[in-house]
Amino acid sequence: MNALRHVWLGALCAASALLLLAPGPARAFGDSGAFDPRPLLTGRAVFEGVRATAPSRWSRELMDRTSAPARLSPEPVQADERALLDEPFAYFVGEAAVEPFTQSEIERLRLFFAAGGVLLVDDAAPDKGAFGASARREIGRVLPDAVPIPIGTEHVVFRSFYLLRRAYGRVEGPPKLEAIVRGGNAQVLFSSHDLAGALAVSPGGYFSVPVVPNGDRQREQAIRLAVNIAMYVLCSNYKDDQVHAPILMRRRGGDRP
């Protein structure tokens, strides 16, 4: 790692620690301080199949690479449940078209976003686009005045831990993510890359979904994007959690090339 990289890491660590220690508004979320990539369920949807292991793998990669706290067995949460407000992050992933949200789901999601919640919408079948298009439609009903915009390397999501040049997942997809930005924060991230497919593992711990077109190199970049998203959520939503500030930054200098 060259000297410039060390300088950049030191500056970013200091800035991130200050962000974590800065006073912030009261939130409706729990105070565990651990990243929890909870699958979001709507309607009659269930979270099963080959990608069901992706959230736990996400947590493991985050802990191994950064020492940030994370829940290793994330539990799905229904969009209309009070439990949605227990944590500041949810992971909305699928392949098929989304059923129209119920009014109770819309109201609960509005509370989630009003409290500062962040939602990742991950299209697992971007070649078809049914999930992504319908998810955008329904999120538009929750946040009718918000419009997704492209975000790339200028956004902190691409440099919250690793310096990334573009977005990746199981498929290469577009170089940028899309986001709904409210109050200066990206509260909804839209991925057309199947991040879950890049993270999913078999019972034996091996990656179970092929990554195309660039194989293991692309999978590594997808994992780095997942880590960056987690760090963005932690640094944005746990401003009053002083205990974890040094832990989150402890291993920034040990990232792999």
**How long is the chain?**
257
pLDDT at 29: 58
The percentage of the chain sitting over the pLDDT mark of 90, rounded to a whole number, equals: 77
Distance CA 62, CA 57 (A): 9
Topology of the domain covering 3-254:
Rossmann fold (3.40.50)
Name residue 191's beta-bridge partners. 122
Cβ contact 45:76 at 8 Å: no
- Report the range of poorest mean pLDDT among 67-71, 82-86, 138-142, 235-239: 235-239
The number of beta carbons lying within 10 Å of the beta carbon of residue 198 is: 27
Among the listed residues 77, 94, 97, the one whose alpha carbon sits nearest the alpha carbon of residue 85: 77
**Cβ-proximal residues to 225 (8 Å cutoff; 6+ apart), any chain:** 164, 167, 168, 169, 195
pLDDT at 145: 95
Query: Tens digit of pLDDT for each residue in 240-256?
Result: 343 444 444 444 333 43
What pTM, to 2 d.p., does this model score?
A: 0.83
> How far is CA 7 from each of CA 1, 10, 14, 38, 219, rounded to the nearest angstrom?
10, 5, 11, 35, 28
Mean pLDDT of the chain: 85
Distance CA 257, CA 235 (A): 23
